[in-house]
Structure 1
């Protein structure tokens, strides 16, 4: 089987990123383990997975399955730190498809996620752009009706 299974997102620190992506966006934390850089320095291997379901209070996040997961990579040095929040040059860099667009949209709004505009209907589905806590732009996408 082949396919894209991970994309890297540079973050300033692991723990605030884990909290944001799991508690605010509702992603599943798939892995958080000790690792080493290519030059033998300690790091963590942190992988989160978007959820396609609405997480109810007290309920475990259900992972979406399929698609790419996100490797949260703590910036290593000033050059990488300068790229945090702008890895995509100001363009939308992530496209998150959900089954329940309106439920997810309202949940994110209630968590303080800021949207660039009101949701709009396109031929491919309902879409709205939001920025994560670092400034990376995302499309939240719902199915076509």
Structure 2
């Protein structure tokens, strides 16, 4: 057996151990934004996301703004306003130039046409891959997203 095989076995055993002890899931992914309202306008107005929550928190003078794809359950996006120079420098580059988030769809061409009509900028045109059809777009700050429809219907 190879050393890498040993590592995989240990990692798998560890994962199984924790799966038997706890139930966890991602709730939110924080996305740095310049201003809440412009971010809401993009995600709700252009991408068709649902605005799940928008609550002012006076003690911290900030808002708790949560959006997620229409009809989706599970993980959502927390729109987090950059509050200092250090955070502001990461606007639009939260993944170091790589694709940051992956938006799965049940109808690629419907969503691609709708996004294009609303001015969403695609930086890589649609391409058929072994796993499905995918294109890369930028959000309003420049973060890269995959719009993807898998061939096998996976969620």
- Normalising by structure 1, we get a TM-score of 0.85
Q: Does 1:28 align with 2:36?
A: no
Shift of 1:41: 2.5
- The 4+ residue runs of structure 1 with deviation greater than 3 A are none
Alignment counterpart, residue 65 of structure 1, candidates 63, 66, 73: 73
Contact 1:48 1:71 in 2 (8 A): yes
CA distance in 1, matches of 2:118, 2:130: 28
Count of equivalent residues: 130
Q: Deviations over 1:12-69 (max 9, x none)?
A: 1100001110000110000000125xxx421100000013xxxxxxxxxxx2223x20
Aligned to 1:56: none
Could you list the runs of 5+ residues in structure 2 that have no partner in the other structure?
1-22
CA distance in 1, matches of 2:124, 2:84: 34
Tell me the SS of whatever aligns to 1:17: helix
Shift of 1:143: 2.4
Q: Does 1:47 align with 2:69?
A: no
Aligned to 1:57: none
Q: Deviations over 1:80-121 (max 9, x none)?
A: 111110111110000000111100000000001111122111
Over aligned residue pairs, what C-alpha RMSD do you find? 1.2
CA distance in 2, matches of 1:43, 1:74: 8
Aligned to 1:80: 87
Shift of 1:125: 1.1
Contact 1:86 1:136 in 2 (8 A): yes
Alignment counterpart, residue 139 of structure 1, candidates 117, 138, 146: 146
Could you list the runs of 5+ residues in structure 1 that have no partner in the other structure?
52-62
